Structure 1
Amino acid sequence: MTMDDGIADVGARKEGALPGLQSVRLNRRSLLLGSAAGLGALGLAGCSTSDSMMRAEAAKLYGPVPDEKFPIPAVDVSKIDPKYFRRIVRYDSKEAPGTIIVDPGNHYVYRIEGDGNATRYGANVGRSGFLWSGEAYVGRKAEWAIWTPPKEMIQRQPEARKYAGGMPPGLDNPLGARTLYLYQNGAYTLYTIYSTRDPETIGTGVTSGCTGLLTQDMLDLYPRTPVKTKVIVLPA
């Protein structure tokens, strides 16, 4: 498997094995399914905030990003439960600021900010049978990465063979605009935190182990996450 595989077809893996992204079918949706200020800082953390107000502010937060290499469209926030909108929350942790904590049981990713606070992002996570927990670190980062299907996927889905040399970056590439590759002891685990443009996947278990954040959320997390950042994946 090349370093840019990013999405690993690990259908034969059992729960507890090192994960990869979901098995990928060759259309955009199934391929994708294959600033530190959050909404709390915008005054949306209170229980009295109406759903319509939250969505109005979220529409600004998840608006288009036209200046990217491949311009990113706005997110349809009507397809997301408001509890998954990015925000600053209270999160007591002994971990150092910058640490990333993946909570697959609740479909959240946290970035520890210190002083008992964290930035919380809604996420999609591994489906049943593809869950993994443990400690890792960001071993590599990529913007608009190339995706190369592993040989196991090509064997199962011969139509993926046309991408054996690598699928070019772009909006339809399953890795999206930003990717964080997780390592243990110098070895790539096949586990990534990647960007998705499918809002309806947030809050669901759809992958073969990897964790997806909305592209706009990954654009917030990525520049604040250097190589060697500690990542903790909690048990589901």
Structure 2
Amino acid sequence: MTTRRFRIAQAALALTAAMTLAGCSATMDSPNAGSEAVAFAMSKTYPSALPVQYRKTEVVDPTGETPGTIVIDTAEKYLYLVEPDGKAIRYGVGVGKEGFGWTGEAKVGNKQEWPDWVPPPEMLERRPDLPLRMSGGPENPLGARAMYLYRDGKDTLFRIHGTNEPLTIGKAMSSGCIRMINFDVVDLYERVPMGAKVIVR
């Protein structure tokens, strides 16, 4: 295969992977949790079953990045918002399951409150029971807020978003995006400006 054809093939594979990840479903294998999910989505407290380490807390910054940077540690399932004076706010997150993860640098290129969710064609093939579009609200898998990650001015199709399945925090089971408890994502959303740097490790 020529170098040019190899690069085209690589680009096609990357695009296919990104399209597969777009939409950030609640889970790939189970439908929305109904009324229980709505109750959790609107709750202002952490579920008792959520381990304490995944609850918002201020810590000594372990990242070494400049204040205002978001750093996501996919192995440990933490999101850090770097603050001045060597501090960081640490949130627990859910991350992509094996084969759906992503690492690299991006910027917050768009922010939405109670965003709509549009499953991509690949996801609809796997889950024909899903709607073609779901309006924003408590039952929506993207939760209360979404921050859309861009690179070189283009949407990467990855998001930091809320979830109506809070017990997935601390686990690797999403379709690639970073999910947070709804009131945590609201807190982060209000602290993070457009253009903020995001590092996914």
Q: 2:84 aligns with which of 81, 100, 114?
A: 114
**Alpha-carbon offset, residue 199 of structure 1:** 2.6
Does residue 127 of structure 1 match 2:97? yes
Q: 1:37 — aligned with what?
A: none
RMSD over aligned Cα, in angstroms? 2.6
Sort the Cα spacing of 1:76 and 1:233 in 2 relative to 1 into closer, same or farther, 3 A.
Answer: closer
Per-residue CA deviation, residues 20-56 of structure 1 (Å, 9 max, x unaligned), is 42464673239xx9xxxxxxxxxxxxxxxxxxxxxxx
CA shift in 2, pair 1:26/1:99, >3 Å? same
Q: Secondary structure at the match of 1:155?
A: helix
Aligned residues: 180
Q: How far is the alpha carbon of 1:227 from its aligned partner?
A: 1.1
In structure 2, what is the Cα distance between the partners aligned to 1:85 and 1:26?
25
AA matched with 1:187: K
- The residue that corresponds to 1:205 in the other structure is 172
Deviations 1:29-84 (A, max 9, x none): 39xx9xxxxxxxxxxxxxxxxxxxxxxxxxxxxxx99xxxxx82244531111111
- Deviation string 1:191-236 (CA, Å, 9 cap, x unpaired) is 11110132321111011211111011111100111111100001xx
Asked if residue 192 in structure 1 is aligned to residue 159 in structure 2, the reply is yes
Select between 93-102 and 170-179 the one with higher mean Cα deviation. Answer: 93-102
The separation in 2 between residues aligned to 1:92 and 1:83, in whole angstroms, is: 15
Aligned counterparts of 1:75 and 1:195: Cα–Cα separation in 2: 14
Matched, 1:84 2:54: yes
Contact 1:86 1:119 (8 Å CA) reproduced: yes
Cα deviation per residue 1:137-185 (whole Å; 9 max; x = unaligned)?
A: 001000011111212222333223xx32x21111110111100110111
Aligned residue in 2 for 1:149: 119
Instruction: Judge which range, 150-159 or 114-123, deviates more.
Output: 150-159
1:223 aligned partner: 190
Task: Compute the TM-score of the two structures, normalised by the length of structure 2.
Answer: 0.80
Q: Name the aligned partner's letter for residue 147 of structure 1.
A: W
* One-letter amino acid matched to 1:195: G
What SS does the corresponding residue of 2:33 show, helix, strand or coil? helix
Pick closer, same or farther for the CA change 1:113–1:213 going to 2, 3 Å: same
| CA 1:131–1:154: 2 relative to 1, 3 Å | closer
CA contact 1:100–1:231 (8 Å) conserved in 2? yes
- The normalised TM-score by structure 1 is 0.69
* Counterpart in the other structure of 1:28: 32
- Code of the aligned partner of 1:202: I
Question: Which residue in the other structure is 1:177 paired with?
Answer: 144
| Counterparts in 2 of 1:82 and 1:135: CA distance versus 1, 3 Å | same
